[in-house]
Amino acid sequence: MSQGVEFNRLMLDMRAMQMDAMSMPKAAAAPEVGSSSFADMLGQAVNKVNDTQQASSQLASAFEIGKSGVDLTDVMIASQKATVSFQALTQVRNKLVQAYQDIMQMPV
């Protein structure tokens, strides 16, 4: 049950980051000291995906060595959660690359 709660928390964090990005002013202004930039937010997202993958790997290793209290369903849920978060990050990367290419192809 805790895996479902963690997944819900991950989704809530992603939605909160989306809302933060959408609420930022559209004007190109210098970033304020202490405010998070897009690079910081992207770095945090990458770190969260990395943490999810590491937790999945540790849980799988604990199951493989026969550690008590580790259930196969928990291992599979953690594995799928890591896979989904990585796929989502890959899609974000693809959209960023596509947006960059579109901007570079704009006539001046």
Q: State the pLDDT at residue 25.
A: 65
Q: What are the boundaries of each domain within the chain?
A: 37-107
Q: Which amino acid would we find at residue 82?
A: A
Q: State the pLDDT at residue 5.
A: 62
Q: State the pLDDT at residue 47.
A: 95
Q: How far apart are the C-alpha atoms of 100 and 58, rounded to whole Å?
A: 36
Q: State the pLDDT at residue 19.
A: 75
Quick one: 59 exposed, middle or buried, by C-beta within 10 A (0-12, 13-18, 19+)? buried
Q: State the pLDDT at residue 62.
A: 94
Q: State the pLDDT at residue 36.
A: 78
- The rounded average pLDDT for each run of 10 residues, N- to C-terminus, in the chain (108 residues) is 65 76 63 72 93 95 92 94 95 93 90
C-alpha Rg value of the chain to the nearest Å:
18
Phi-psi region of 68 (alpha: psi -120 to 50; beta: other; left: phi over 0): beta
Q: State the pLDDT at residue 2.
A: 56
Q: State the pLDDT at residue 32.
A: 58
Q: State the pLDDT at residue 14.
A: 75
The beta-strand segments (E) located in the chain are none
The end-to-end CA distance of the chain, in Å, is 54
Q: Residue 104 phi/psi, 5° resolution?
A: -70, -25
